[in-house]
Amino acid sequence: MPNATGGQPPITGQVLFYKDPQPLSAENHGGLGVRQIAEPFAFLRAAHAVPVTVTEFGVAAASYPIIFVGDERTPVAVMGVRQGQNLFVDQNGYVFEDYYIPAFVRRYPFVFAADESSDRLLLCVDRAAPMVSNQPDVPFFENGQPSKFTTDAIEFCKEFERQRRATTDFAKIVASMDLFEQKTVTFQPRDPQGREVGPVQKVADYWAISEERLNALPAEKYVELRNNGALGACYAHLVSLLNWSKVVNRAVRTPPPGQAVS
């Protein structure tokens, strides 16, 4: 069961964004909460790829390429092509209007962590998050009990954990049917008149679902994908890859981190 008031077991591992995750407790965080800050998504600026769950593929596909990375074939939304640079967070610390914000981002500063002494999940908060304050607009606890804000956060993180597990299952199904293939996205530099300038540049190597292999599946396997709800996600992923040009073109117009606009 998720716990918001338990002890302090060790937190191990690292998760994107989180610098100092601590098990949330009334004893240690009773006076804390969250406050409005000037740049609410500034923490996202250095993330060029963000994990997404399988249930998000449909809506995320309208904004970003969704690719698979690592041995676990973890799906991520590509939000930049350079390490340390997100191309979809504006100078005011907001995600550009009409672009989807993944649940992985929206749950911050909360996250679940496994309690090593049991099979429970503990609700943690990133104590280093800029919106966590001892002068909060919304407290974590009221009269020693989790506030509605905190209980809502628990429910959000519980649902995210369910969807994360479903995403792991989805990747295993796709892998078991041998549908993954390695792909490369490239970019041809051009001058203002549209003429090719210099050699083609590689942007990224990644794993994707093969449309050819998907279409060649035996009928019973195709129906299996449909019946377990995976087929729609497969096609959403394939459609999302059309967004590579959007990301690459945005990268061309944006200098690398720390480099001034000429």
Domain that holds residue 210: 21-253
Q: Is the pTM of this model over 0.75?
A: yes
Is residue 60, in this structure, part of any structural domain at all?
A: yes
pLDDT tens-place string over residues 10-23: 333 457 899 999 99
Is residue 42, in this structure, part of any structural domain at all?
A: yes
Local structure of 164: helix, strand or coil: helix
HSE-CB of 212 using CA atoms within 13 angstroms = 2
Local structure of 244: helix, strand or coil: helix
Which pLDDT value is given to residue 140? 97
Is residue 161, in this structure, part of any structural domain at all?
A: yes
pLDDT tens-place string over residues 152-191: 999 999 999 999 999 999 999 999 999 999 999 987 777 7
Could you give the CA distance from residue 153 to residue 107 in angstroms, rounded to a whole number?
7
Is residue 91, in this structure, part of any structural domain at all?
A: yes
Is residue 8, in this structure, part of any structural domain at all?
A: no
Return all residues near 140 (Cβ < 8 A) that are at least 6 apart. Answer: 24, 29, 30, 32, 33, 34, 125, 146, 147, 149, 150
pLDDT tens-place string over residues 48-105: 999 999 999 999 999 999 999 999 999 999 999 988 999 999 999 999 999 999 999 9
Whether 102 contacts 47, CB under 8 Å? no
Is residue 196, in this structure, part of any structural domain at all?
A: yes
Q: Which of 246, 253, 242 is nearest to 66 (CA)?
A: 242
Is residue 11, in this structure, part of any structural domain at all?
A: no
Is residue 145, in this structure, part of any structural domain at all?
A: yes
Number of domains comprising the chain = 1
Which pLDDT value is given to residue 116? 65
Which pLDDT value is given to residue 259? 62
Would you state the structure tokens that stand for residue 75, as one six-digit string? 């799906």
